[in-house]
Amino acid sequence: MVELKNVEVFYKDSGVDALRDVNIRINDGEFVFIVGDSGAGKSTLLKLLTNELLPTKGRVFVNGYNLSKLKKSKVPKFRRSIGMVFQDFRLIPDMTVFENVAFVLRITDKAKKYIRQRVPYVLNLVRLADRAKSYPSQLSGGERQRVGIARAFATDPGIIIADEPTGNIDPRLSYEIVELLLDINKCGTTVIMVTHEHDLVQYFGGRVINLKDGEIFFDGSIPMGGKSDEME
């Protein structure tokens, strides 16, 4: 569960109120698009959710943690409850696809036997089982992002946060990436996807939170294939 209560973020350096009185509740198992123009506050919101930033005012709860009160010693465990998917993939170039996914399980001390079963399972889920031995440079952008999704899901996190996951790939393949995230969402994982691609959001529909100048301009559900004036 994600909850922001009367959240404000003020950046002293720039004198900008990046978020103003933001209230959001995202229940477990939801799929939410976060949209908004550049400078609207999307990155700031994500930084709050990953505990990279604390709000100037208000409270942030994620996966049962009150982030304002999160002890340093609990930060690694909290971070492991979130899977991240990045616009620039962030794969390790000299590791194979299998190793890239296995790596996140190794650093969390998962048993070898579990890793040997889990990695093929998640690679199969993103339809890349046959590319396990390839290196990232041998894959297309879309395939790299599928590895990114497999890696984020490998640790079975409560939430996956995808930050512009389709930003660096062929627009035709963007739909496939969202479909994979929806498949993962069907397994029970909450998915929060930041995007500026309105076409994509309108194609899939569902819950959309639109930020404008640090405030929530729209938070609601739009139909599949639909268009909503509030979203523009």
Residues that bind ligand ADP (CB under 6 A): 11, 13-14, 16, 18, 36, 38-44
CB of 60 to ligand ADP, least distance (A): 15
CB of 49 to ligand ADP, least distance (A): 12
CB of 18 to ligand ADP, least distance (A): 4
CB of 55 to ligand ADP, least distance (A): 13
CB of 196 to ligand ADP, least distance (A): 8
The two tokens of residue 179 are 């479909």
Of 11 and 114, which CB lies nearer to ligand ADP in the complex structure? 11
| Distance linking the first and last C-alpha atoms of the chain | 27
Contact 166, 193 (CB under 8 A): no
> Rounded to 5 degrees, what are φ and ψ at 60?
-125, 125
Of 36 and 158, which CB lies nearer to ligand ADP in the complex structure? 36
Of 20 and 59, which CB lies nearer to ligand ADP in the complex structure? 20
**Cβ burial, residue 159 (10 Å; 0-12/13-18/19+):** buried
- b/e burial code for range 163-177 (CB count within 10 A of at least 16 → b): bbbbbebeeeebebb
Of 57 and 74, which CB lies nearer to ligand ADP in the complex structure? 57
Of 36 and 58, which CB lies nearer to ligand ADP in the complex structure? 36
